[in-house]
């Protein structure tokens, strides 16, 4: 099927689900992309300097362009929108096209999180009926579950922040786990100095005041600081828990069972209900549905449910759809208020 005919059929399909068509700018400020995706992402974008000295780029991502529109137009409340156009992005694989023809659709500003997640996936599946394929897979992930796991682990707060913040940077994340295992971030000399100070202050009247703090308060702080450098065995155990969690992959109807079994085994105070997931069937039409804890690391702005659809067409595997929830993106772009948002983008193929 020609791309134009395919596009028209999908646009009609999305519109029939109650989404309103909007136009998006082709050029946006580069810093909006770099701030969300990191400096390393700069090599994948087409940027230039305008006559005012501002760095602009061709949009590599339609979602950020859409969220900027919502923010800059000071929009309020729920919007169901869709759009079409090209995203321009370089690839490490030289065989990949730098121009991606996409159709995107989003629900912004709605508080019905689970209902909206299902609607976005169902809209994707309805649109997929216009593609010719023999089989495929829907992969479901959830960044929120990963962050909940990290919040329950017995590690310093700074480590929780690091691991959550860098989940999407897979190589750097793995380096963090190695440092966690070996305590390589800890300076043993400083630790010993702190221990000596701590022991010395134990001999002093704990009601005494130094720099507006009592000796007792200072000792409590020292106590935490001394314990903060983890024992190697504890660091290795925490790293193993995280690595084992990221290995979980199963049919979607076993997602809650496998997660809860993992939480019980590792004595983590978390429970997940199967209703938490937007799909409960293992098979939808010609698509297998699987859950993966490691999926969702492609873009930093995802905050909850994420999914992708890969199909087999003409003996090759094609990624035809990606989506998820990004509740913090609009506030990260400058809004004073956090705005719920979920959406997906279809990649048009011939």
More confident residue, 350 or 322: 322
Give the C-alpha separation, 245 to 303, whole Å.
18
Element (H, E) at 160: helix 157-165
pLDDT at position 222 over 50? yes
Give the C-alpha separation, 346 to 103, whole Å.
5
What confidence tier does 203 reach under pLDDT thresholds 50, 70, 90?
Answer: confident
pTM over 0.75: yes
Range scoring the smallest mean pLDDT among 138-142, 174-178, 182-186, 294-298: 182-186
Share of the chain above pLDDT 70, in %: 87
**CA distance readout (Å), 267 to 154, 241, 260, 283:** 11, 11, 10, 32
Range scoring the smallest mean pLDDT among 3-7, 155-159, 161-165, 285-289: 3-7
For the chain, the domains span 3-149+243-347, 188-227
* Phi-psi sector, 347: left (phi>0), alpha (psi -120 to 50), beta: beta
More confident residue, 220 or 163: 163
Q: What is the CATH number of domain 3-149+243-347?
A: 3.30.930.10
């Amino acid at each position: 099927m020609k791309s134009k005919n395919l596009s028209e059929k999908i646009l009609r399909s999305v519109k029939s689900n109650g989404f309103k068509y909007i136009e998006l700018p082709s050029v946006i400020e580069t810093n909006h992309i770099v701030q969300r995706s990191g400096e390393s992402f700069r090599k994948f974008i087409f940027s230039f300097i305008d006559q005012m000295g501002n760095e602009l780029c061709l949009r590599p991502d339609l979602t950020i362009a859409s969220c900027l529109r919502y923010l800059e137009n000071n929009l309020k409340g729920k919007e169901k929108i869709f759009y079409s156009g090209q995203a321009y992005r370089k690839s490490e694989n030289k065989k990949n096209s730098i121009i991606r023809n996409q159709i995107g659709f989003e629900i912004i500003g709605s508080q019905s999180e689970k209902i909206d997640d299902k609607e976005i996936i169902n809209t994707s599946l309805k649109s997929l009926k216009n593609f010719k394929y023999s089989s495929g897979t829907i992969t479901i992930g959830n960044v929120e579950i990963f962050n909940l796991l990290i919040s329950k682990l017995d590690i310093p707060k700074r480590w929780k922040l690091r691991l959550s913040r860098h989940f999407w940077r897979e190589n750097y994340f793995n380096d963090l786990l190695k440092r966690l295992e070996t305590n390589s971030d800890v300076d043993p000399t400083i630790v010993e100095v702190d221990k000596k100070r701590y022991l010395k202050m134990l001999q002093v009247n704990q009601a005494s005041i130094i720099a507006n703090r009592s000796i007792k308060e200072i000792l409590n702080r020292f106590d935490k600081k001394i314990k903060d450098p983890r024992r190697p065995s504890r660091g290795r155990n925490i790293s193993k828990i995280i690595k084992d969690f990221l290995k979980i992959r199963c049919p979607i109807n076993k997602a809650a069972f496998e997660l809860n079994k993992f939480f019980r085994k590792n004595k983590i105070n978390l429970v997940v209900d199967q209703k938490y997931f937007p799909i409960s069937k293992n098979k939808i039409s010609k698509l297998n549905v699987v859950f993966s804890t490691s999926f969702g690391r492609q873009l930093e702005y995802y905050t909850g449910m994420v999914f992708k659809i890969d199909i087999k067409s003409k003996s090759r595997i094609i990624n035809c759809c990606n989506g998820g929830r990004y509740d913090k993106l609009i506030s990260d772009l400058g809004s004073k208020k956090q705005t719920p948002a979920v959406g997906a983008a279809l990649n048009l193929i011939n």
